[in-house]
Structure 1
């Protein structure tokens, strides 16, 4: 019987081999020579990731008879940034040799090499150096171009190798980042439940299972993860890789990314933590977004939407010109403003569509609310889980002032056309009311004016 990860690989469109375990670096060469026989390889790393696994990756490839080009090693300082400029630099370095890339790194390098290889029409393989995010096996690359972070369609790696000895030695904040990225699949899954319930985007049951079935088990031992326990780290890595494979199978990030990710994307586009030393990892921001959205779900579930006054909600819903005026006043940079207008316009519903959504949500609310409660953890439990691995749980920990943090609940909705809880509450006329409740003196954030640790 196939394991869940083997089933996930079977559903994947690009990835044909996954190796996770202690000593897995020894398998890089055999996998590459088997999947890409006769092809030369070029190892791509930065100074930090080369020190972590570059030499061992090179040795494994050489021992398997894979011809090797001179490695492409980017500087460790400043660390590479997932920008279009970096993609162009790596693409031109790869173009100069007839070889497939074997990238040794985490999210930034993985996405850069993914897109650069795609532009050259070449497959590539990936060696993970930190359990920091779910993008190793994911379809698409998250790249900042012209000030806007976007997921650009491109194939996932043909193989992913994750050596638990290497991953356990990664900086603690990188593990915390991975936990933040993974736990967001809980409210992200709730967003998909809502979208399915109102007919916006049906759930693909097989893809859902790839992400959600291993999820709680993967998050079950945060103290073991922080202590470097191989079994706990293996569970985390398998959960992250399975999420990436699910995105391959679905050709979209919907299975693994909800509004909590949108909060992180907004902050990243605004440069939050980009110039920190070291830069603030994506997953730490996603973890905070998870706390934000889980708390918002708790507030939303206090409302009995089975009693929603649909006519009143329709009457109060702003027209597109009114929404456009609000977006223009919300302080977006020029590049982000253009994207916010385009993305928001794409999902602004016509009156008949909105009526159907609201009536469907009202009529199905008892069942939907039950599904949402079963899907979610309490926000306080998410806080404790993230605290246990040293992740971010409060905006002050990453320099977000209260006004900017509060505005994220609305502004994050603007930058993506994906329909989430933020849109559901906006369309029902409840978003501002729920956010106000969170920041009231007795609300979730009102009770947390300072970092919890």
Structure 2
């Protein structure tokens, strides 16, 4: 009988520690990503200047490109600027917006990407998806995952604490997304990739159960590893299913309905996950997620991010339209506005008791 296996798309190296960014040049050479040192480095057009000044002496063969945010236009501009210059690789150095723009640009010019994350705001640091703003709001674009991931805990702790909290919400939302995937499997026959589900669940559970906080290196390491595992799970599955269900539909609805007021992606996903768990009757799981969100300073009620209950009812009602064809607890229940209103009142009472 033949032995069957499959190749798993994953980074050749994942380096999570304090001072990791100081070893970037050695990592590129040792892993044969760029022996010549001819690389393009994308940074933000604001705080990226400080990183440029700090790292430029160690990377003399690099060209530096400031990127004006996480938009499709910025990503295309970066790709055009790099085209034809014979780089070995592209380095995205910054937060989620810079890495997403750089992933798209690297795919456009056919170069491997090294993701150097300066914060832990979401699982995009290792995912095969670039989420970019466009003329119609925001879109998700399939791209190759990074060839290497570097997370410097010194830089993570220098960033605003809100970014770490957002990453916690995104990691915890895996648990709700997986429950939606299992629901779809039962109701529609959608196939579940067991390995992708196991990795996404391990990531969410590790963050849920860890006793540490955002000032704790051990907790930050677990969070960073969880976000990397979530990204690999999506690569294995071939879509965002392991980490995106009703929780993300709710977040995308916030973004589309209230683009000027939307909170951080991970904050919205965490809130959406706790509410979605309540909708499916998993009250203990919902309460536990809400408890952990609160412990880390994340919102569990829409009022805590500046939205009224009535606006939240509108968001939940609109959410299924953000992912046509995806089956979650929202599509399954198909609640009316009054039913959502009653469910939210019950949720708010349950998690506050």
TM over 0.5: yes
Helix, strand or coil: the match of 1:201? coil
Deviation at 1:52, TM superposition (A): 6.6
Which residue of structure 2 aligns with residue 28 of structure 1? 24
Which residue of structure 2 aligns with residue 120 of structure 1? 109
The whole-number CA distance in structure 2 between the counterparts of 1:251 and 1:55 is: 38
Deviation at 1:56, TM superposition (A): 4.8
- Aligned equivalent of 2:144, options 148, 152, 155: 155
Whether the aligned pair in 1 keeps the contact of 2:171 and 2:203 (CA below 8 Å) is no
Which residue of structure 2 aligns with residue 414 of structure 1? 321
Whether the aligned pair in 1 keeps the contact of 2:310 and 2:341 (CA below 8 Å) is no
Whether the aligned pair in 1 keeps the contact of 2:275 and 2:347 (CA below 8 Å) is no
Which residue of structure 2 aligns with residue 171 of structure 1? 160
Which structure's CA Rg is the greater one? 1
Which residue of structure 1 aligns with residue 249 of structure 2? 262
Whether the aligned pair in 2 keeps the contact of 1:90 and 1:113 (CA below 8 Å) is yes
Change (3 A) 1:157 1:60: farther
Which residue of structure 2 aligns with residue 246 of structure 1? 233
Which residue of structure 2 aligns with residue 41 of structure 1? 39
Deviation at 1:154, TM superposition (A): 1.2
Deviation at 1:377, TM superposition (A): 5.2
Helix, strand or coil: the match of 1:387? helix
Whether the aligned pair in 2 keeps the contact of 1:438 and 1:446 (CA below 8 Å) is no
Deviation at 1:14, TM superposition (A): 5.4
Deviation per CA, 1:352-382: give whole Å up to 9, x if none. xxxxxxxxxxxxxxxxxxxxx5xx8532322
Deviation per CA, 1:426-452: give whole Å up to 9, x if none. 2xxx66675243245xx123678xxx7
Deviation at 1:113, TM superposition (A): 0.8
Whether the aligned pair in 1 keeps the contact of 2:251 and 2:265 (CA below 8 Å) is yes
The whole-number CA distance in structure 2 between the counterparts of 1:268 and 1:192 is: 23
> Given the alignment of the two structures, is residue 394 of structure 1 paired with residue 295 of structure 2, yes or no?
no
> Given the alignment of the two structures, is residue 68 of structure 1 paired with residue 62 of structure 2, yes or no?
yes
Which residue of structure 1 aligns with residue 74 of structure 2? 86
> Given the alignment of the two structures, is residue 234 of structure 1 paired with residue 232 of structure 2, yes or no?
no
Q: Where does 1:181-220 land on structure 2 (aligned, <5 Å)? A: 181-220=170-209
Structure 2, gaps ≥5 residues long: 1-5
Query: Is the deviation greater in 50-59 or in 249-258?
Result: 50-59
Deviation at 1:152, TM superposition (A): 0.9
Whether the aligned pair in 1 keeps the contact of 2:13 and 2:148 (CA below 8 Å) is yes
The whole-number CA distance in structure 1 between the counterparts of 2:176 and 2:276 is: 7
Whether the aligned pair in 2 keeps the contact of 1:30 and 1:61 (CA below 8 Å) is no
Structure 1, gaps ≥5 residues long: 1-9, 299-372
Change (3 A) 1:191 1:114: same
Give the number of aligned pairs: 343
Change (3 A) 1:111 1:152: same
Alignment RMSD: 2.6
Q: Where does 1:267-286 land on structure 2 (aligned, <5 Å)? A: 267-273=254-260, 280-286=263-269
